Amino acid sequence: MRRIVPLLLLLVFLNGSLALGQSAPLKSWVRINQMGYLPTSTKIAVLASKEPLKGNNFTVHDVITGKEVFKGKQSKDFGPYAAFTNTYRLDFSKFRKTGNFFIKAGGAISPKFRVSPDVYDNTADYVLHYMRQQRCGFNPFFRDSCHTKDGFVVFHPDPKVDSTFIDARGGWHDASDYLQYVTTSANAVFQMLFAYQQNPKAFGDNYFDNGLPGSNGVPDILDEAKWGLDWLLKMYPKPDLMFNQIADDRDHTGYRLPIYDRVNYGKGAGNGRPVYVVSDKPQGAFQYKNRSTGVASTAGKFSSAFSMGAQLLADYYPEYAQLLQTKARQAYEFGLARPGVSQTAPGRAPYFYEEDNWVDDMELAAVQLYHQTGATEFLEKAAEFGRQEPQTPWLGKDTARHYQWYPFINLGHFYLGASKDEAIRQEFISNLSNGLEAVFRRSRKNAFNMGVPFIWCSNNLVAGLVTQAVLYRQLTGDRRYVEMEAALRDWLFGMNPWGTSMVVGLPQSGEFPNSPHSSLSLLMGYKLAGGLVDGPVYNSIFKNLKGLKLDAEDEFAAYQSNLAVYHDDHGDYSTNEPTMDGTASLSFLLSSLQMEGKEKGKVRKIKKK
């Protein structure tokens, strides 16, 4: 006969972490991955306390019976981290039974969690909800269209063309504002296509290409990527004419739904937005300017997205794939002729995406052209670009400017690490390892194994780094970084100082962002299902941001620190705003975890290319 869950345990799960018999304010917590754990995966929780703890054992218990099913020893005390004075790692990787469980340690009880091969099933498809919600032009969430008069050309070298209309409808809104950038959109396209290329069996077909429910014979993630590609084609209409963004920070005029956007960019309220020509010179509509030096950062992203689209969409849209192949080569040549970075353009505020690297974009573009054509000149050129930046510069750093080193992972290194050319293969596997090692050395200093800097959009860095760790493990079988990989994965779903998932709606029964910085959420109460929020920032960054004010009492006040803050609050655009490119970058991780569950933890063998 099964025992009924005791009332106290029910309170535990409602509370998230309640010490047995304790009426005073909590002083210790167990942080876990709320999504759960694959049976064969690395399983670690963190015990975080505001006072020294006695004893060094922890136990895992069955939710239904309360029975102890595993006993382990706490790690050494890692000491202070964030708001806590004492922190410990709880390793229960040897526990492989399936079911629902909780952990008792240091007088605290964890939220319940699941151990099962299917804990990540359908999660990669789930984040596509947010991508569809971000669509510009026809938006399936509203079943209505927005920004239908986009847009008019600005910064064209020919004055006769400047201010003329170009059809730039489509794509995705970048975040909770309605600006659109090629740099983030092209990366999002590539991330989704890459996830499908690596894990095609992880994705379903439950939506039409317009984003409405239904089946059209094409995996939904390819539908979503094609939506982005359609827009990228509009943003690159001629071999020597490329656009970089739509709108600027005049957009930031308050909360409103996209279908009612009436911002005036000089043509009358709602009568179109500026479409910026890509530039190799500093650019800005008002007093602030970016520091652009070339176009290769944008051109390379165009090219790699087009190449990957050509490869994966050929079976569904052969003529379209041919067009993408042509555009990929043209964009690559355009980037070769004008090396350097093309940053996004500021408006009335000094904020913009301060991308400072471009050889990674051209490396990825070249290696994709190699896969498309088989011409070894592209493989050699990709390696040449890759040697100019052996590791993405933010790796191992304490800080960086906003999107200074973007994308946050160099997937070109992965493709070269999978090369049939043994010398290139070993060189770029070493580059991948060295990048991981730089963060690994930092991560070992704290119980959360967190070595990522808390700059704006830190969660995007976490998603990029965990992707690199998974790919390195799959390429080599080397397990040196598996604990850091697990820590990065788990951080996104609750094993962090705040005890919250960073993805809206995942897991459904867990703690996740309920008040994201978004007009849709604040004005209408819409749930931004699947959106990855920016994540914690250094307190020093938070204190110096303009126009930021919390709308409600801070539910995480006990966990804030001089190190970093995170707020589940509509007013915090620095930590609680979902981003389109960050969300897309989860596609590979989540699809890989789903496939690992189905393959019972086997290490995938990456084919040499």
- Give the helix/strand (H/E) hosting 102: strand 99-105
DSSP state of 139: E
Closest C-alpha among 555, 596, 602 to residue 576:
555
Cα(404)–Cα(408) distance, integer angstroms: 9
- pLDDT, position 357: 97
Closest C-alpha among 484, 473, 502 to residue 586:
502
- pLDDT, position 5: 36
Q: Say which residues have a Cβ less than 8 Å from residue 152's Cβ, sequence separation at least 6.
A: 163, 164, 165, 166, 265, 267, 272, 273, 274, 275
Q: What is the mean pLDDT of the chain?
A: 94
pLDDT band per the 50, 70, 90 thresholds, residue 47: very high
Reported as half-sphere exposure (CB side, CA atoms, 13 A), residue 146 has a value of 23
Sign of the Cα pseudo-torsion (296, 299, 303, 309, in order): positive
- pLDDT, position 568: 97
pLDDT band per the 50, 70, 90 thresholds, residue 605: low
Q: State yes or no: pLDDT of 6 exceeds 60.
A: no
Proportion of the chain above pLDDT 70, given as a percent: 95
The helix-helix angle for 182-198 and 586-598 (nearest 10°) equals: 10
Q: State yes or no: pLDDT of 150 exceeds 80.
A: yes
Please, are residues 181 and 243 in contact by the beta-carbon 8 Å criterion? no
Residue 417 token pair: 């690490």
Q: State yes or no: pLDDT of 8 exceeds 90.
A: no
Domain spans of the chain, in order of start: 7-115, 123-499+580-598
CATH number 2.60.40.10 is the correct assignment for the domain at 7-115: yes
- pLDDT, position 601: 60
Sign of the Cα pseudo-torsion (488, 492, 494, 496, in order): positive
123-499+580-598 topology per CATH: Glycosyltransferase (1.50.10)
- pLDDT, position 546: 81
Q: State yes or no: pLDDT of 4 exceeds 60.
A: no
pLDDT band per the 50, 70, 90 thresholds, residue 170: very high
Query: pLDDT tens across 113-140, in order?
Result: 999 999 999 999 999 999 999 999 999 9
> Could you tell me the pTM of the whole model?
0.94
Query: pLDDT tens across 57-104, in order?
Result: 999 999 999 999 999 999 999 999 999 999 999 999 999 999 999 999
Sign of the Cα pseudo-torsion (357, 435, 308, 200, in order): negative
- pLDDT, position 59: 98
The helix-helix angle for 318-337 and 220-234 (nearest 10°) equals: 50
Closest C-alpha among 103, 81, 79 to residue 90:
103
Q: State yes or no: pLDDT of 1 exceeds 60.
A: no
* Residue for token pair 């652009």: 292
**Average pLDDT of the residues in 293-309:** 98
Burial class (CB in 10 A: 0-12, 13-18, 19+), 112: buried
Cα(439)–Cα(144) distance, integer angstroms: 45
pLDDT band per the 50, 70, 90 thresholds, residue 545: confident
Quick count: other Cβ atoms within 10 Å of Cβ 21?
Answer: 7
Q: Say which residues have a Cβ less than 8 Å from residue 291's Cβ, sequence separation at least 6.
A: 282, 341, 343, 354
Query: pLDDT tens across 198-252, in order?
Result: 999 999 999 999 999 999 999 999 999 999 999 999 999 999 999 999 999 999 9
Q: Which residue has the higher pLDDT, 330 or 544?
A: 330
- Report how far apart, in Å, the C-alpha atoms of 533 and of each of 393, 500, 502, 571, 579 are: 23, 11, 6, 13, 6
Residue 64 token pair: 């239904």
pLDDT band per the 50, 70, 90 thresholds, residue 548: confident
Q: State yes or no: pLDDT of 17 exceeds 60.
A: no
Q: Say which residues have a Cβ less than 8 Å from residue 78's Cβ, sequence separation at least 6.
A: 87, 88, 89, 445, 446, 447
Query: pLDDT tens across 395-428, in order?
Result: 999 999 999 999 999 999 999 999 999 999 999 9
Q: Say which residues have a Cβ less than 8 Å from residue 577's Cβ, sequence separation at least 6.
A: 175, 176, 516, 517, 518, 533, 534
- pLDDT, position 380: 98
Residue 90 token pair: 């709880």
Q: State yes or no: pLDDT of 14 exceeds 70.
A: no
